[in-house]
Amino acid sequence: MKGFIEFIAKHLVDNPDGVVVEEKTLEDNKVVLSIKVQADDVGKVIGKQGKTAQAMRTLLTAVAAKDGKRAILEILD
């Protein structure tokens, strides 16, 4: 899942080297993925009215469901 989200984020931003994705596993099969990008690329990851971020969350939910897990996506400033 981490590689999947990292792949998507790197193709959205102007500075792909500035993309950092951290994965934390919590209890009850929950996974929290945190994306950190450079300040000028935050808008590209979030998208207009949050549509890009919502699409990434939807894809992540589908990938996590295949593994029997729940996933949460956080976009850090």
The DSSP bridge pattern shows strands 20-26 and 70-76 to be unpaired
Model pLDDT for residues 3-26, shown as the tens digit of each residue = 999 999 999 999 999 999 999 999
Number of domains, the chain: 1
Tell me, yes or no, if the pTM score tops 0.85: yes
Q: Which domain holds residue 67?
A: 2-76
Of 16, 4, 72, the C-alpha closest to 44 is 16
What's the CATH number where 10 sits? 3.30.300.20
Per-residue pLDDT reduced to its tens digit, 49-72: 999 999 999 999 999 999 999 999
